[in-house]
Structure formats: structure tokens, C-alpha cells
Amino acid sequence: TFYEGQSLKNSACYGNSGVRNYDANENDMIAAMNMKDLELCYECLEIRNPTNNNKIIVKVIDKCDGCPPGGDNIDLTPTAFKQLADLNSGRVEIEWRPLDKCPN
């Protein structure tokens, strides 16, 4: 699914890990996911849609409060989501993996 608007302004990761906050917007390649202790804050993920093989890289900046514990539920900005699937798709199956380092 995707998220936008005010949800981007109050990220759970802001102020965490000593990393300076930035003004996230709907055009950024960012994500929110279920995290107990914000352990994935500012980590990058490669996400793949196995149906069409489209891949993206996003930075995790927020906790997905509506996502059930465990599983592969990740909320993306509309810009990131449309690179994987049509926005009208709603929920799509994905595969993801953390990257050792975020690309520049």
C-alpha cells in the first residue's frame, strides 16, 4: 500500500539514530514498515514485485502502525509504489531484502 500527506511529516525514525531529519515528501523513495524497536530506521531495502519483476530501492523512515506484526507489509510513497505496480492495485505481493549500504 502507499502513504502520503501528513503521515510523512511525523516519521517515527526522526530523531532516532542521531540522523538529522529531512522534509520527506510523496516524491521520495521512502517506506514505512512494522518495527518493534525502530531497528530498520534509515536502512535501505530492495523491493521486488514478482509479478512484473519491477524493482525499487527505498529508505525506511517510518513505522507502519497499521501493519500487522511480522510479514512483508511495507507502505510506500506513491512515487515508489507506482514503480512497482499501478496505484489502483492497492496491495501487491512483494519480496524484499535489506541492503548492506544505501546507494548514493
| Mean pLDDT calculated for residue range 18-41 | 76
H/E element holding 83? helix 78-84
pLDDT value at 48 more than 90 = yes
> Any idea where the domains of the chain sit in the sequence?
5-98
Domain 5-98 architecture: Beta Barrel (2.40)
The Cα–Cα gap between 52 and 103 comes to 23
User: What per-residue confidence (pLDDT) applies to 82?
Assistant: 95
What pTM was estimated for this model as a whole? 0.82
pLDDT tier at 16, thresholds 50, 70, 90: low
3-state secondary structure of 64: coil
Residue type present at position 7: S
